[in-house]
Structure 1
Amino acid sequence: MMNLLNITLLGNRLTGSIPMEIANISTLVQLELTTNQMSGNLPPELGNLTQIRTLRLSSNNFTGELPLTLAKLTTLQDLQISNNQFSGKIPDFIQNWTNINSLIIQGSGLSGPIPSEISLLRNITDLRISDLNGFEYAPLPQLKNMPLLKNLILRNCNINGKLHDYLATMTTLKHLDLSFNKLSGTISSTYADMNGVKYIFLTGNLLSGPVPAWRKNVDVDLSYNNFNISQGSQICQNEKVNLFSTLWARNDIGTVSCLSFQCPKPSYSLHINCGGKQTTVNRTSYDGDSDSSGPARFHVSPTGNWAFSTTGIFIDGDQLGETYSPQNIATLTMVDAELYMNARVSPISLTYYGFCLENGSYSVTLHFAEIMFTDDQTYASLGRRVFDIYLQGKQMQKEFNIAEEAGGVGKKVIKRYKDVVVTSNTLEIRLYWAGKGTQALPNRSVYGPLISAISVESDSAHGSSISAGVVVGIVVAATIVIILVFGILWWKGCFGKKNSLSRELNSLNLQTGLFTLRQIKAATNNFDISNKIGEGGFGPVYKGCLPNETLIAVKQLSSKSKQGNREFLNEIGMISALQHPYLVKLYGCGVEGDQLLLVYEYLENNSLARALFGPEEHQIKLDWSTRQKICVGIAKGLAFLHEESRLKVVHRDIKATNVLLDKDLNPKISDFGLAKLVEEDNTHISTRIAGTYGYMAPEYAMRGYLTDKADVYSFGIVALEIVNGRGNTISRSNEEEALYLLDWAQLLKERGDLMELVDRRLGSDFNKKEAMVVINVALLCTNDTSNLRPSMSSVVNMLEGRIVVPEFVSDSSEVMDENKFEVMRQYYSQMEGNKVSKSQTQSRSSSTDGPWPASSSSALNLYPIHSDSSYWEKRK
């Protein structure tokens, strides 16, 4: 330990404080503790790490003042302490860190002003300080002696005074952000001539006077200032300059203004689907808001009665054009999901303005759902989005966390505010990021305020001419109708059945969405016959399309199924807990009356069985690298089921038809209807045998003994099919015994001719070493003795070359018949010479998939070939 250089524990949910003993590692160069749940004061002993270069403590709950001993860290090059609960001021001893390149202190809890000693950090390239506490103001520090500075962010740092001209002469500067301070005076015209700068953000200051003629390749935000701009000014033509001012909302319209529309008449409501398309929910029409936006933008709606303004830039983001109106990655379970499919997000400040509203009192409803984080206990689930909410300039909530208040990601939370007074016909809704929360989860630059929808309604009644008597009559009539309807439904027993199902569903704690029958009917065009893509063991399967254009496969479970609700609920309860890149994703389910529905992702390239040995017109030419990728992917999916998920799951029916291929030919294991949860202390099952002959492990097929090694055996068979390109079981005549690919592989192993097993269609264009590894792993997996089969995690390591494949050990208790071997030699030789008809070589498992238990649903039935696959488009 005394020679340890790096400690990196990023995003590990660590709690407690930093142990003082860490200072004993005198050789330590890097300490990375970002995005954990650590707390307490920083130990003074950290000052003994005199070799430290990188110290990252952001996104924790550290408290107290920075210890004076940190002044001894003169080798420090990178310090990041954002999003904590520190107290006190930024210490003067930062002047000792003369080697520092990156200093990031955002939302740390520290107070201003910024010490003047910061001017001694001449090697710095990235300086970010924001959202300091306290009310003590000071002028902008002297920064002219920082010749390497690229990013200068001093936002909300209690800075007053003039905007220095020398900043415009710093040739290395790319990003200048001095927003939300008290800078006053004018902006020198030299700022318009800065070379190399990409972003200039001076939002929320007291700047005035003329606006420089900025170059059009620079994003500039001058909103919330006191500039005098007349309509028709040339600066108004530059779409990259945000000039909107809150002066509009303060009865001073004449001082703004690039805007030039007039309100035809006052309105009493406003509804916006933020970041999404126009939609109607509960008979309320929401305006679409699908502008791609970008940094420092002011966008007016086509109707002219509302607008939004974004402030800032995701400084570490890579795909700027796609960052500001994200689509959901979580499964949405709410009834009005249309409002939460998309959202509007901004790095710093996101402000919506409602124009043309009649002055008076309003109820403002803000809709939120966290759609950019996950909830699967992975690294991406550690993200925390925290921001403040303002209405008409008044802070309504500080440090609002969507997922925390909603009880998880993909769940909605609605904030309602009454008695919001509108003056000057304008409503201002502002969301502000104050440096709290994470900034790099699940990807870099996923932070900042996010909102899904806005609904504004006047508290006063307008436009109603219906008399009180008519209103009373309508209410009475409606009440009578409702009572009659409820009485009929109760008499038919609908309520009890639905409540029973609901209770069963709630008890499962599903991690998927609940779809209504109406939503699924809309997606499948009311289960139109043209969308029917197969007939599974439970019932028909339909292709559908959700409102966000996501393709789905809907399995409509037959009401005549013997399994009924019990197996249905067991299936979705288990699948909802299993999410992995190599498992088919379950989007959700629907239970309504006798309708039992499963909604899966739709996989474009059908099953592995079709691709390898289906009808010739539907086969896909899989090169060796693709086959090897598929093999590894299946192994990783099974390793997850057996060892990595919190549930121990045995699939029980691994075969080529239950492996689907996406548009990039990545494998996904399907059909968990046969899966069985196995308790650690009980591996022998008493339920019926479920699986497909030719793939089932001997101990399971003959004795019903089930462990995860049964899946290992089935994987071995599938791996042989991937190498050979043919199905496992070859039917001959009714009188003759079937031939099995595994027997042929074992025969070739004894002869030392395993390369003959490789699909002739590959020619010589394949990696012989990789092929031998896959074959030997397959033979190891198909050992008759289950204890001699490897775990799936070991299989993954062998396939990826991290461990050596051990020698295959055959079970000596059974001696194979030489006569049978001779028949197999002749038969496979004929096949390789194309002397056997297609009907003879059709594999039993790919045509009938063996004896189907009633709960089974083959991927062959679930995903027949369709021309919308990207592969088939390329083949045309």
Structure 2
Amino acid sequence: MLPRNFLVFLLLIFTFHLPPLISAENTTFDFPFFTVRNLTLLGDSYFKNGVIGLTREIGVPSSSSGSIIYNNPIHFFDQESNITASFSTSFSFSVKNVNPSSFGDGLTFFLSPDNQTLGSPGGYLGLVNSSELTKNRFLAIEFDTKLDAQFNDPNENHVGLDINALTSIKTADALLQDIDLKSGNLITAWIDYKNDLRVLNVFLSYSSLKPPTPLLSVAFDLSGYLKEDMFVGFSASTEGSTEVHLIENWSFKTFGFLPVRPKSHPHNVSDSSVTIISDVPVSNSTNKHHKGLGLGLGIAGPAFFFVVLAVFGYVSVKKWKYMRIENGLKAEILTGPREFSYKELYAATRGFHSSRIIGRGAFGNVYKAIFVSSGAVAAVKRSKHSREGKIEFLAELSIVACLRHKNLVQLQGWCAEKDELLLVYDFMPNGSLDKVLHPEPETGILLTWSHRQNIAIGLASVLAYLHQECEQQVIHRDIKTSNIMLDGSFNPRLGDFGLARLMDHDKSPVSTLTAGTMGYLAPEYLQYGKATVKTDVFSYGVVILEVACGRRPIERELSSQKMVNLVDWVWGLHGQGRITEAADKRLNGDFKEEEMRKLLLVGLRCAHPDSAERPSIRRVVQILNNEADPIAVPKMKPSLTFSCSLTVEDIVSDDEERKTTA
């Protein structure tokens, strides 16, 4: 008998000889520290050394909002028994600040039917949008560090219960138990709700010992708000503050559900409830012997099968793990996105038909997928790399898949079957920025000036997120208009991380083979192969010049048939005091001249030949949002230099390393 058939045989025996296992619907999880598994990050949240940061960790005041949510919905209501679960959670958090006078706004623990809960910065605590205060539904315990009169806050150091609104049902001053939420010290919180008592209690302590008395106790029936599955998580926000909100550990459990009752089988002749009457009288000693033998077999038989089943299960799991590793199909690194079947994606793309190709990237073709069952539309990228390339790509993707930003093309899921890697992304109805800017033939959508400004700001915002706000710095290396997608509202979404590189912050750049597209590549990157944030800034500068001018980075001039470099052309007009003449003629002057001048000058400064003279992408965001003054741009394009923080030792050591590994 084949092992698989034998395992099925054992399962059948095990099922019919053991009483059904009693299972409960209660949920329990525990994170002594945090990894990318089972959690979704939204907004500005990030992982760092096993700790969750909910708001940006930068030394200058900023507005920030972030959430982190447990991936699986939690059952709080059982329809059969009409029981609402009780729950208990504990976590340790700290609120730190490089400038103690710049406090606000706080953090929350929340339950919500929505797994995309992310609100506005400031007093909205990352829970609700400033323009739609009643849109999001939630139960939240707020740990508020700022007095906001709009929401009737009692002070800047309180705990409160919020239900679908930021005006708390009841609050308590944390100083009543000598707790300063803004102290920077690690604080442990316990939140308990007992449905039978209809009471919610919140405890706080600087130690890991739970205090005997709650800081906040609210007699309130929450069962009416827990009739559906809920997601649990944390949110936080700041506004003009350097406050940082950190979560270091988290445990959660529900309890109170009745165990699932085993189903009875009155007509099953093998059921132990069937009584057999013997015609032959049996002596007491024989009866006792038979009973003892029966009891022994009743215990030993199932135990034996259980042991055999466990052995086969262990061997099967080890074999399964070996096969997964051997084939590079490490699905566990992509816990957030969903796993699609190859059959499902094959059908949705009409067998990867050529008519469904909507783009070509560094790692293969991109297909439009239409799922007939749901009517949903997605974009499927089909990798053309070898097995080794797929494993490396999966390793990179394990971090990229956890990135969350409104200006990123979001990964929906993946498929690893038939020696192929398929990635499923959100479908962008307006295609790539390249196709909109340079349509063939010269017809199609014309991007308005407001659209172009929004694209420049959105792209700068997502690069600031990748460069400065992720646990590991992400260098994209291939920023160009064909890798920037446009959603239904023409908002930019950066995609194609096939050439991206991950590195720790404040580390020296590593030499790589030069990759990317000519016209967008920084001169020092072409020279030394060192990808840095400043090489991405150069590419960004070229892109926004392309957006403003409607010309490609390198274009053949119709009159002379000479190749013209876009950066050189715009810089020449700047030197003549005519920079706004570089504006896309298709706009017909429908823009504000000062805004056009600012965008073109930012593009030139980002595309400066000297990397040290390029602004940080964070400064670019501030300039475009009118939060900082523009940077001066010389009238003449500076001569080519290579000062991208590389020393002679760096270059020599790289050359020696190449010789050693050759």
TM-score, normalised relative to structure 2? 0.54
- Alpha-carbon distance in 2 for matches of 1:671, 1:807: 33
One-letter code aligned to 1:760: K
Q: Partners in 1 of 2:268 and 2:413 — Cα distance?
A: 42
Question: Displacement of 1:755 after TM fit?
Answer: 1.2
Determine the structure 2 residue equivalent to 1:787: 612
- Identify unmatched segments of 5+ residues in structure 1: 1-7, 61-77, 89-106, 114-129, 134-154, 158-178, 181-311, 313-345, 352-367, 385-402, 407-412, 421-457, 469-485, 816-876
The structure-2 alpha-carbon separation of the partners of 1:14 and 1:33, relative to structure 1 and needing over 3 Å to count, comes to farther
More relative contact order, 1 or 2 (CA 8 Å, 6+ apart)? 2
Which residue identity is paired with 2:493? K
Corresponding position: 1:610 with 2:435: yes
- Candidates 485, 490, 497, aligned match of 1:665: 490
Q: Is this contact kept in 2: 1:56–1:80, CA < 8 A?
A: no
In the aligned structure 1, how far is the partner of 2:500 from the partner of 2:551?
26
Q: Quick one: distance in 1 between partners of 2:430 and 2:153?
A: 52
- Residues 106-121 of structure 1: pairs in structure 2 closer than 5 A: none
Matches within 5 A, 1:518-533: 518-521=343-346, 523-524=348-349, 527=352, 531-533=356-358
Q: 2:158 aligns with which of 39, 52, 57?
A: 57
Q: Quick check: 1:628 aligned with 2:453?
A: yes
**What amino acid maps onto 1:57 in structure 2?**
H
Give the whole-Å Cα distance in 2 for the aligned partners of 1:595 and 1:10.
Answer: 38
| Alignment counterpart, residue 382 of structure 2, candidates 542, 551, 556 | 556
1:806 deviates by: 1.7
Provide the secondary structure at the position in 2 that maps to 1:58: strand
Match 2:265 to one of 445, 461, 465: 461
Q: Which ranges of structure 2 fall in alignment gaps of 5 or more residues?
A: 1-62, 68-90, 111-142, 162-166, 178-190, 202-216, 239-244, 273-311, 642-662
Shift of the 758–811 alpha-carbon distance from structure 1 to 2, 3 Å rule, reads closer
CA distance in 2, matches of 1:9, 1:768: 31
Cα distance in 2 for partners of 1:722, 1:619 equals: 16
Identity of aligned residues (%): 30
**Change in CA separation of 1:556 and 1:467 when aligned onto 2, cut-off 3 Å:** farther
Asked if the contact 1:686–1:704 (Cα under 8 Å) also holds between the matched residues in 2, the reply is yes
| Alpha carbons of structure 1 residues 744 and 17: separation in structure 2 relative to 1, 3 Å | closer
Q: Deviations over 1:383-442 (max 9, x none)?
A: 99xxxxxxxxxxxxxxxxxx9559xxxxxx99985454xxxxxxxxxxxxxxxxxxxxxx
8 Å Cα contact 1:584-1:670 kept in structure 2: yes
Aligned partner of 1:708 in structure 2 is 533
Equivalent position amino acid for 1:627 in 2: R
Alpha-carbon separation, structure 2, partners of 1:529 and 1:461: 56
Aligned to 1:582: 407
- Report the counterpart of residue 549 of structure 2 in structure 1: 724
Aligned residues of 2:327 and 2:387 also touching (Cα < 8 A)? no
The Cα shift of 1:813 comes to 3.3
Deviation at 1:677, TM superposition (A): 1.4
Separation in 1, partners of 2:260, 2:587? 73
Amino acid at match of 1:679: D
Corresponding pairs, count: 427
Aligned equivalent of 1:104? none
Query: What aligned pairs does 1:265-344 form with structure 2 within 5 A after superposition?
Result: none
| Alpha-carbon displacement from aligned partner over 1:192-243 (angstroms, at most 9, x marks no partner) | xxxxxxxxxxxxxxxxxxxxxxxxxxxxxxxxxxxxxxxxxxxxxxxxxxxx
* 1:235-263 Cα deviation digits (max 9, x unpaired): xxxxxxxxxxxxxxxxxxxxxxxxxxxxx
Q: Residue type of the partner of 2:630?
A: V
C-alpha distance 461-524 of structure 1, shift in aligned 2 (>3 A): farther
Q: Which residue of 1 aligns with 2:114?
A: none
Q: Does 1:772 align with 2:597?
A: yes
Tell me which residue corresponds to 2:108.
35
Report what 1:804 is aligned to.
629
Please give the secondary structure, in 2, of the residue aligned with 1:542.
strand
| Alpha-carbon separation, structure 2, partners of 1:15 and 1:807 | 43
8 Å Cα contact 1:603/1:663 also seen in 2: yes
Distance 1:605 1:10 in 2: 28
Which of 511, 520, 527 is the aligned partner of 1:695?
Answer: 520
Cα 1:706–1:522 shift into 2, 3 Å: same
Quick one: which of 480, 504, 509 aligns to 1:679? 504
What is the DSSP-based 3-state SS (H/G/I as helix, E as strand, rest coil) of the residue aligned with 1:808? Answer: coil
The alignment status of 1:738 with 2:547, answered yes or no, reads no
- Find the partner of 1:541 among 366, 372, 376: 366
- Cα distance in 2 for residues equivalent to 1:79 and 1:467: 56
Report the secondary structure of 2:108's partner residue. coil
Task: Write the letter of the residue equivalent to 1:459.
Answer: K
Mapped to 1, the partners of 2:447 and 2:348 lie a distance apart of 33
Deviation at 1:528, TM superposition (A): 5.3
Distance apart, 1:731 and its partner CA = 3.0
Alignment of 1:348 onto 2:348: no
**Counterparts of 1:36 and 1:156, CA distance in 2:** 16
Aligned CA distance change for structure 1 residues 535 and 638 (closer, same or farther; 3 Å): closer
- Distance in 2 between residues matched to 1:17 and 1:711, nearest whole Å: 33
User: Aligned AA for 1:35?
Assistant: T
What CA distance in whole angstroms lies between the structure 2 residues aligned with 1:14 and 1:550? 40
Q: In the alignment, what sits opposite 2:304?
A: none
Larger Rg: 1
Q: Deviations over 1:745-775 (max 9, x none)?
A: 0110111001110111111321111111101
Contact 1:712-1:792 at 8 Å conserved across structures: yes
TM-superposed CA distance for 1:724, in Å, is 0.8
For residue 500 of structure 1, what is the aligned residue in structure 2?
326
The 1:719–1:54 alpha-carbon spacing in structure 2 relative to 1, beyond 3 Å, is same
State how 1:400-439 maps to structure 2 within 5 Å: 418=259, 420=261
Q: Distance in 2 between the 1:84 and 1:11 partners?
A: 25
What are the superposed Cα offsets for residues 471-494 of structure 1, whole Å, 9 maximum, x if unpaired?
xxxxxxxxxxxxxxx9xxx9xx99
Please state if 1:649 is matched with 2:453. no
Equivalent position SS for 1:770: helix
> What is the rounded CA distance, in whole Å, between the counterparts of 2:509 and 2:352 in structure 1?
41
- In structure 1, the partner of 2:639 is 813
Indicate the residue corresponding to 1:857 in structure 2: none
Specify the SS of the correspondent of 1:577. Answer: coil
Distance 1:588 1:617, change over 3 A: same
Shift of 1:571: 3.5
Query: Equivalents in 1 of 2:453, 2:95: separation in Å?
Result: 46
Deviation of 1:643 (Å): 0.9
Q: Scaled by the length of structure 1, what TM-score is found?
A: 0.42
Secondary structure (helix, strand or coil) at the match of 1:610 reads helix
- 2:414·2:422 contact (CA, 8 Å) conserved in 1? yes
Deviation of 1:623 after TM superposition, in Å, equals 1.2
Contact 1:36 1:59 survives alignment (8 Å): no
Match for residue 232 of structure 1? Answer: none
How far apart in 2 are the matches of 1:616 and 1:375?
50
Deviation per residue, 1:653-708 (Å, 9 max, x gap): 11111111000000011111111113345434332111100110000012212211
User: Closer, same or farther in 2 for the Cα pair 1:54/1:465, shift >3 Å?
Assistant: same
Amino acid at match of 2:419: D
Counterpart contact for 2:509–2:531, Cα < 8 Å = yes
1:345-424 equivalences in 2 (<5 Å): 347-348=224-225, 350=227, 370=231, 418=259, 420=261
Question: Using a 3 Å threshold, how does the CA distance of structure 1 residues 84 and 497 change in structure 2: closer, same or farther?
Answer: farther
Question: 1:552 corresponds to which letter in structure 2?
Answer: A
Which is further off, 531-540 or 798-807?
531-540
Shift of 1:616: 3.3
User: Could you list the per-position Cα deviations for residues 712-763 of structure 1 after superposition, in whole angstroms to 9, with x for gaps in the alignment?
Assistant: 1111111111111121111369x96521111110110111001110111111
Asked if 2 retains the 8 angstrom alpha-carbon contact of 1:11 and 1:34, the reply is no
Mapping for residues 13-32 of structure 1, pairs under 5 Å = 15=93
Offset from partner CA, 1:94-115 (integer Å, 9 cap, x none): xxxxxxxxxxxxx9999xx9xx
Contact 2:475 2:533 in 1 (8 A): yes
